[in-house]
Chains A and B, each alone.
Chain A
Amino acid sequence: MARPLLEVTDLRKQYQARAGMLAALHGRTRSVPAVDGVSFGLSEHETLGLVGESGCGKTTIGRIVLGVTPASSGRVVFDGHEITALRPRALRPLRKQMQMIFQDLDAALNPRMRVRDILREAITLHHRLEQTEVARRTSELLDQVNLKSAKLASFPHELSGGEKRRVGIARVLAVGARFIVADEPTSALDVSIQAQIVNLLRDLQTRLGLSYLFISHDLEVVELVSHRVAVMYLGRIVEIGPAERVARASRHPYTSILWSSLVEKRSDEVARNGAAAWGVFDFERPGQGCRFAPRCPVYEAAGRPAICTDPTSEPTLRDVGDGQSVACHFPLAR
C-alpha cells in the first residue's frame, strides 16, 4: 500500500437553508447538512471514485478537500499538512499540488484568452520561468494531453468539447498538480470523446503518478477508472471499498439499487424487483436513525426493525472484509 496522500476525518458542512424573509423572525432558520461526518483516505497513485445522486454532497467534499470551501468541522490532511487549519496564505504553496477539473467546460476557461495564454498563465503562476522554458513546457503539456500545437492560437469557443477538456487538464498539469479532484470530468462529453478522456486520465496517472478524487454520477465510468469507490447518500458515505466489489458485490442496499438501476435501463426483466416502490428523499429532514431507511427495501422486507429508525443508533461504516466497509444494520449477504 502506498503511503496516504489525503486523510479526511469526520468532515461536516452545513448550509443555511433559505426559508423566506420572515423565517429568521420566527426563529426558523434551518441548516441543511450537505456533508455529515465523512471520513476516507486516498493513497498516492490511487483513484477514489465518489458516487451518489445529485445533492448528496459529492461536489462539496471535493471543494472542501481543496480548501476552496471551508468545512464546518472535521479535518483534511494533505501530505502531512492540515488543510482545514491553514490560513489561505499558508495554503498557497499547497494549491499547486492539488487542483480541480471542473464539470462545466465553458465556464472553466476564460473565453477571451487563447489556449497559449491560458497555459502560460498556469505555468508561470507558481514558477518564474524564462520565455524559452515556458515554450518548452507548453509543448510538453500539449504532448501529454494529445493536443495539436495548431490549437495554441485558438480561443476556447473555437475548440470542441474534447479539446476544451484537454486544455483544462493541461492547465491543471501546468501548475504541477499531483492530486486532482475531477468533478464530473466526462459528463458534458459525447460517448466517443468520453472514452478518449477516460484513457487520457488513466495514462497520465501511470506516467505522472497522479492521484484522483473522481466525482461522478456515471457509475460505469467510475467503476472503470477507480481503484476504490465511495458511495454517498445524503451527506454520508454508506459504502466504500474496491471498485469491483462495490459494483459487483455491494453490501449496502442503496449501492445495490444504484448499480441495478443501470441494468434496469437496459432490460425489462429486472425492472419489477428491486427499486419498484421507493419514495422521494428529503435532504432537509433525514429520517431518524439510518437515513436510507425510508427508501430501503431491506428495511421493508425485514418488517421495519426498530433499530433502523432508532435515533441513537445511526449505522456507521464498519469493516466487512476484503477492504469493504458498509454503514448498514443489515448488510446484504455476499
Chain B
Amino acid sequence: MTRPPLLEIQDLRTYFYSRAKEAFIRSVDGVSLAIAPGETLGVVGESGSGKSVTALSILGLVGGNPGVITGAVHFAGGNGASGPRNLLADLERYVSLTKHDGRIVAVAKDEPGWRAHVERALARVRGKQIAMIFQNPKSSLNPFVTVGQQISEAVRLHTGVTHASEAKERALGWLERVRMDSPRLRFDQYPDGLSGGMCQRAMIAMALASEPSLLIADEPTTGLDATIQSRIVALLAELKSEFGVTTLLITHDIRVVSRLADTVAVMYGATVMEHGPARDVLAPGVEPKHPYTSALLASLPSTQTNGRRHAVDGRLPVIRGEVVDTMNVPRGCRFHARCDRITDAIRARCMGEEPALATVAAGHRMRCHLHPGEARGG
C-alpha cells in the first residue's frame, strides 16, 4: 500500500431494533474496508448482507433506532488538504453500549443529538464530495422537474458555477458524456418520458456533475433489461477509464463486479468475509478463496464463470440452507452452518469462535479458520 486510502471504514456497526422480536437486526456488524484513490471497490453479497446499509451509513443516511452505533469513516476527499477526517467523528459521545460475553446486548443512543451532529458534519460532503447513484433511477429523479434542470441544479449547488446559462452548458456536457442520445432533446424532458436506461444515464450525469471525489453506485444495473444492463456497465467502464473517479460499487451481480472492480469485498451476514484484488477473489479456481466465495461462484448458472459445463442433468451446485438471519447471528463463523469445507480439526473453532479478517496475501484478507493467515499487526 503506497498511497493512503481515500476512504477507510473501520469497525462500522449499524443496528436496528425490532420491537416485535425484541432483538437487534445487526445489518452492518463490524465492517472494515478501504478504497484507494482512483480505485473501484466492488461490494458483493446477497440481500440482507448489509452492503447497501454500509453505503448509507457512510453518508449518515440511516435513520431509525439505533442506527449507526460504532465505527469511523476516514475520508480524504474534498478541497482541504488537511488530511483525512472522520465523517462519523464524535459518534461515541452519543452512544453507550452494554456488552455481555463480547456481544452488544443493549444500546442507548441520543438520536436527535447525533442526527443534528451528522447533518452539520456531512452537509458539505453529501452529493458534492461523495455522490450516489441508486438502484431505481426512475424513482430517484424528481418527476416534476426536467432532467436538464435537475442536472443543472447539481452543477450550481456543488461547483463554482453560478450562471444559469453556464450551468446548462455544463449539464448538457455531462449528458453527452454519459452517451445520452440527443441530449438537447432529453434536457427538456421529464423523467417520465425517459426509459429506465436513459434515467440511469441521467442519474449518473447528475452524480458526476458535482465532480465528486467518491461515487457510490448502489445496484446501478439491477432492474434494467439485459441489453440495457450491459450498456450501462459499458458506460461505467468508459467513465472509469476516462475520469478515473473512485467508486464504491455495490451489487449482487458478480458479473458486473468482475468487469468493473479492481478490488472486491464479499459480504455475508452483515460483515466482510473476504476482501482482495478482483482477479484473485473472483477468478474461478484461484486459491485461496473463502468457502462462501467459492460456493457463490459455483452456484452461478453461467457456464463461462465456472469455466466448465455443469453436471449433465443440469443441476447447479447449491449452498445448502438459508441466508444467515442477522437478527440471530450464530456464534462462531457466520457461514459455518452452510459451509462444506469444515474439517474435524477446526469444527469446534468454526462453531465457537468468529474468525478474524486475516491477511492471507498482500492486500488479500479473509475471515476463515482454514486460512488463519498472519495475525494483523497494529
Decide if A and B are genuine partners. yes
What residues make up the interface of A, taking CB atoms closer than 8 Å to B? Answer: 53-54, 160-163, 190-196, 198-199, 202, 217-221, 223-225, 257-258, 261-268, 271, 275, 279-280
Q: Which of A53, A190, A266, A280 contacts B255 (CB 8 A)?
A: A266
Q: Which of A194, A202, A225, A265 contacts B230 (CB 8 A)?
A: A265
Task: List residues of chain B with CB within 8 A of the CB of A198.
Answer: 301, 316
| CB <8 Å contact, A275 and B295 | no
- Given the complex of chains A and B, what is the CA–CA distance between A198 and B227 in angstroms? 23
| CB <8 Å contact, A192 and B225 | no
| CB <8 Å contact, A258 and B227 | yes
What residues make up the interface of B, taking CB atoms closer than 8 Å to A? Answer: 46-47, 181, 195, 197-198, 225-231, 233-234, 237, 252-256, 258-259, 295-296, 299-305, 310, 313-320, 322-323
| CB <8 Å contact, A192 and B233 | no
| CB <8 Å contact, B316 and A162 | no
Q: Which of B197, B225, B231, B316 contacts A195 (CB 8 A)?
A: B316
- Given the complex of chains A and B, what is the CA–CA distance between A161 and B322 in angstroms? 9
- Given the complex of chains A and B, what is the CA–CA distance between A323 and B280 in angstroms? 42
- Given the complex of chains A and B, what is the CA–CA distance between A275 and B230 in angstroms? 9
CB of B82 to closest CB in A, whole Å: 38
Task: List residues of chain A with CB within 8 A of the CB of B234.
Answer: 264, 271
Report if A202-B237 is in contact (Cβ < 8 Å); known contacts: A160-B322, A191-B46. Answer: no
- Given the complex of chains A and B, what is the CA–CA distance between A293 and B252 in angstroms? 34
| CB <8 Å contact, B181 and A219 | no
- Given the complex of chains A and B, what is the CA–CA distance between A161 and B258 in angstroms? 26
| CB <8 Å contact, B230 and A280 | no
Task: List residues of chain A with CB within 8 A of the CB of B225.
Answer: 53-54, 217
| CB <8 Å contact, A190 and B300 | no
Task: Provide a sorted-by-A list of 18 A–B residue pairs whose CB atoms are within 8 angstroms.
Answer: A53-B227, A191-B46, A193-B323, A194-B301, A195-B317, A195-B319, A196-B318, A198-B301, A221-B301, A224-B310, A261-B229, A262-B230, A265-B253, A266-B258, A268-B237, A275-B227, A280-B197, A280-B198
CB nearest to A200 among chain B residues: B318
| CB <8 Å contact, A161 and B227 | no
Total cross-chain contacts (CB, 8 A): 105
- Given the complex of chains A and B, what is the CA–CA distance between A257 and B230 in angstroms? 11
In order of increasing CB-CB distance, the 5 nearest A-B pairs are: A190-B46, A261-B230, A192-B319, A195-B316, A195-B299
| CB <8 Å contact, B322 and A267 | no
CB of A134 to closest CB in B, whole Å: 27
| CB <8 Å contact, B256 and A190 | no
| CB <8 Å contact, B195 and A220 | no
Q: Which of A160, A191, A271 contacts B296 (CB 8 A)?
A: A191
| CB <8 Å contact, A225 and B226 | no
| CB <8 Å contact, A217 and B314 | no
Task: List residues of chain B with CB within 8 A of the CB of A267.
Answer: 259
- Given the complex of chains A and B, what is the CA–CA distance between A262 and B221 in angstroms? 13
CB of A100 to closest CB in B, whole Å: 22
- Given the complex of chains A and B, what is the CA–CA distance between A198 and B317 in angstroms? 10
| CB <8 Å contact, A190 and B259 | no
Given A220-B302, A271-B230, A280-B181, 14 further pairs, Cβ under 8 A: A190-B323, A192-B319, A194-B299, A195-B317, A196-B318, A198-B316, A199-B318, A219-B226, A224-B314, A258-B226, A262-B304, A264-B234, A275-B231, A280-B198
Task: List residues of chain B with CB within 8 A of the CB of A217.
Answer: 225-226
CB nearest to A263 among chain B residues: B304
CB of B232 to closest CB in A, whole Å: 10
Report if A224-B231 is in contact (Cβ < 8 Å); known contacts: A191-B299, A280-B195. Answer: no
Task: List residues of chain A with CB within 8 A of the CB of B181.
Answer: 279-280
Report if A192-B296 is in contact (Cβ < 8 Å); known contacts: A262-B255, A264-B234, A266-B258. Answer: yes
CB of B143 to closest CB in A, whole Å: 17
| CB <8 Å contact, B300 and A268 | no
- Given the complex of chains A and B, what is the CA–CA distance between A280 and B320 in angstroms? 41
- Given the complex of chains A and B, what is the CA–CA distance between A279 and B322 in angstroms? 42
- Given the complex of chains A and B, what is the CA–CA distance between A263 and B234 in angstroms? 11
- Given the complex of chains A and B, what is the CA–CA distance between A249 and B16 in angstroms? 51
Task: List residues of chain A with CB within 8 A of the CB of B300.
Answer: 191, 220
Q: Which of B227, B253, B310 contacts A261 (CB 8 A)?
A: B227
CB nearest to A275 among chain B residues: B227
- Given the complex of chains A and B, what is the CA–CA distance between A63 and B225 in angstroms? 21
| CB <8 Å contact, B226 and A261 | yes
CB of A193 to closest CB in B, whole Å: 7
CB of A131 to closest CB in B, whole Å: 31
CB of A187 to closest CB in B, whole Å: 10
Task: List residues of chain A with CB within 8 A of the CB of B322.
Answer: 160, 162-163, 193
